[in-house]
Amino acid sequence: ETGVTQSPTHLIKTRGQQVTLRCSSQSGHNTVSWYQQALGQGPQFIFQYYREEENGRGNFPPRFSGLQFPNYSSELNVNALELDDSALYLCASSFSDPRDTQYFGPGTRLTVL
């Protein structure tokens, strides 16, 4: 069974640029959630995708957007990067039952200069 994978592992961008982060779900999972973890803090929910549709969103501006593909993999896009976007971005996959466990990938460390 393949776990959740994310790419790239590290990324450095400058303010104002755009970035795309990628996530491959664990085999059989159809739901993907994205979280932002700033240094020294707990992860914050960005949004969740199910059947290629956004299925819940946290308190993040519209410049954070996402996609889910038919194979359930997902992308997180951030436009107009700001310094405060520097964080570890975590992807989690699960089944669609709300009681199911979310399994996390290793994350992408984004640094905005």
Partner 1 sequence: AQSVTQLDSHVSVSEGTPVLLRCNYSSSYSPSLFWYVQHPNKGLQLLLKYTSAATLVKGINGFEAEFKKSETSFHLTKPSAHMSDAAEYFCVVSKLTGGGNKLTFGTGTQLKVEL
Q: Which is nearer to partner 1, 4 or 110 (CB)?
A: 4
Q: Which is nearer to partner 1, 87 or 92 (CB)?
A: 92
Question: Closest distance between partner 1 and the C-beta of residue 4, in Å?
Answer: 8
Instruction: Outline where the chain has alpha helix (H).
Output: none
How far does CA 30 lie from the centroid of its chain? 14
Q: Which is nearer to partner 1, 17 or 61 (CB)?
A: 61
Interacting residue ranges for partner 1, rule: CB under 8 A? 4, 31, 33, 35, 41-45, 48, 50, 55-56, 58, 90, 92, 96, 98-107
Find where tokens 């400058």 sit.
Answer: 14
For 60-72, letters b (16+ CB in 10 Å) and e give beeebbbebeeeb
